[in-house]
Structure 1
Amino acid sequence: MENALVENAVNIPSAAGSKNRIIAAVDIGTNSIHMVVVQIMPELPAFIIIEREKDTVRLGDRDPDTHNLKPEAMERAISTLHRCREVAKTLNAEQIIAVATSAVREAPNGRDFLKRIEAETGVVVDLISGQEEARRIYLGVLSGMEFNNQPHIIIDIGGGSTELILGDSHEPRSLSSTKVGAVRLSAEFITTDPISNSEFYYLQAYIRVMLERAVDELKANLKPGEFPRLVGTAGTIETLAMINAREKLGMIPNPLNGYQFSLKDLREMVNRFRKMDNSERATIPGMSDRRSEIILAGALILQEAMTLLGTETITICERSLREGVIVDWMLTHGLIEDRLRYQGSVRERSVFKTAQKYRVDLAHSQRVAEFAVSIFDQTQGKLHNWRDLERELLWAGAILHNSGHYVSHSAHHKHSYYLIRYSELLGYTESEIELIANLARYHRKSTPKKKHENYRNLPTKEYRQMVCHLSAFLRIAVALDRRQIGAINRLECEYLSEVGEFHLKLFPSFPDDDCALELWSLNYKKDAFEAEYNLKLVAQLEPNAVNVSLR
Structure 2
Amino acid sequence: MGLVVSKSPVEITGEESISTSHAEIYQSKDSRFRNNEKIRRVAAVDIGTNSIHLVIASVDPSLNTFSIDLAEKSSTRLGNRDPENGDLTESAKERTIETLKRFKDLAFSHKVDEILLAATSAVREAPNGAGFLQQINANLGLEVELVSGPEEARLIYLGVLSGMPFGETPHILLDIGGGSTELVLADGQDARALTSTRLGAVSLQRDFVKEEPISSQRLEFLKTFIQGSLEPAINKVCSRINEGEKTALVATSGTALAIGTLAASEQQNFEFRKHGYKFTKEQLDKLIEKLLIMTPDQRRKLPSISDRRAEIIVPGALIMQVAMQMLDIEEVILSERALREGLVVDWMFRKGLLKDRFSFQGSIRERTVIHQLERFSVNRQRAERVAANALDIYDNTHGALHHDEGDGRDLLWAAALLHSCGQHINLASFHKHSWYLIRHGELLGYSQAEHLMVAAIARYHRKSLPKKRHEAWQSLFNKEHRRIVSEMSLILRLSAALDRRPEPAIASLRVACSSSEIIFYLVPEGTKQNLALEIWSLSNCIPIVKSLTGFDLKVLVD
**TM bin (shorter chain):** over 0.9
Shift of 1:199: 1.8
SS of the equivalent of 1:13 reads helix
Paired residue for 1:117?
A: 136
Contact 1:405 1:412 in 2 (8 A): yes
Which stretch shifts more, 184-193 or 426-435? 184-193
Shift of 1:456: 2.1
One of 461, 482, 487 as aligned partner of 1:464: 482
Paired residue for 1:273?
A: 291
Aligned residues: percent identity? 42
Contact 1:129 1:430 in 2 (8 A): yes
One of 328, 331, 335 as aligned partner of 1:313: 331
Paired residue for 1:198?
A: 217
Paired residue for 2:151?
A: 132
Tell me which amino acid in the other structure corresponds to 2:474: R
One of 327, 336, 340 as aligned partner of 1:322: 340
One of 335, 342, 346 as aligned partner of 2:353: 335
Paired residue for 1:350?
A: 368
Contact 1:369 1:399 in 2 (8 A): yes
SS of the equivalent of 2:492 reads helix
One of 60, 72, 76 as aligned partner of 2:91: 72
- Unpaired segments of 5 or more residues in structure 1? 543-551
One of 503, 513, 517 as aligned partner of 2:519: 503
Structure 2 distance, partners of 1:272, 1:365, is: 60
Shift of 1:93: 1.2
Contact 1:152 1:229 in 2 (8 A): yes
Which stretch shifts more, 193-202 or 49-58? 193-202
Aligned ranges 1:388-403 → 2 under 5 Å: 388-403=406-421
* CA shift digits 1:223-249 (9 cap, x unpaired): 111111111111000000011112214
Is 1:526 the counterpart of 2:542? The answer is yes
Is 1:167 the counterpart of 2:186? The answer is yes
Tell me which amino acid in the other structure corresponds to 2:167: N
One of 51, 58, 80 as aligned partner of 1:39: 58
Contact 1:18 1:43 in 2 (8 A): no
Shift of 1:29: 0.7
Contact 1:401 1:416 in 2 (8 A): yes
SS of the equivalent of 2:513 reads strand
Aligned ranges 1:120-519 → 2 under 5 Å: 120-249=139-268, 251-254=270-273, 256-380=274-398, 383-497=401-515, 500-519=516-535
TM-score (norm 1): 0.95
Which stretch shifts more, 124-133 or 357-366? 357-366
Structure 2 distance, partners of 1:37, 1:425, is: 27
Tell me which amino acid in the other structure corresponds to 2:402: H
Tell me which amino acid in the other structure corresponds to 1:259: Y
Shift of 1:504: 0.6
SS of the equivalent of 2:266 reads helix
Is 1:54 the counterpart of 2:73? The answer is yes
Which stretch shifts more, 39-48 or 103-112? 39-48
* CA shift digits 1:278-318 (9 cap, x unpaired): 11111111222401111111000000100111110100111
The change in CA–CA distance for 1:184 and 1:252 in structure 2 (over 3 A counts) is farther
SS of the equivalent of 1:9 reads coil
Contact 1:5 1:144 in 2 (8 A): no
Structure 2 distance, partners of 1:12, 1:74, is: 42
TM-score (norm 2): 0.94
* CA shift digits 1:197-254 (9 cap, x unpaired): 2221111101101111111111111111111111111100000001111221454524
Contact 2:400 2:551 in 1 (8 A): no
Which stretch shifts more, 409-418 or 256-265? 409-418
* CA shift digits 1:385-441 (9 cap, x unpaired): 423432111000000101112322232111111111111110000000000000000
Is 1:98 the counterpart of 2:117? The answer is yes
Structure 1 distance, partners of 2:433, 2:402, is: 29
Shift of 1:8: 2.4
Which stretch shifts more, 189-198 or 142-151? 189-198
Tell me which amino acid in the other structure corresponds to 2:284: L
Structure 1 distance, partners of 2:51, 2:380, is: 43
Contact 1:246 1:286 in 2 (8 A): no
* CA shift digits 1:162-192 (9 cap, x unpaired): 1111111001111111111111111111111
The change in CA–CA distance for 1:249 and 1:327 in structure 2 (over 3 A counts) is farther
Structure 2 distance, partners of 1:478, 1:154, is: 43
Paired residue for 1:22?
A: 41
**Deviation above 6 Å: which 4+ runs of structure 1?**
none
Structure 2 distance, partners of 1:400, 1:120, is: 35
Contact 1:358 1:403 in 2 (8 A): yes
Alignment length (residue pairs):
539
The change in CA–CA distance for 1:170 and 1:12 in structure 2 (over 3 A counts) is farther
Shift of 1:517: 1.7
The change in CA–CA distance for 1:399 and 1:432 in structure 2 (over 3 A counts) is same
Aligned ranges 1:539-550 → 2 under 5 Å: 539-542=555-558
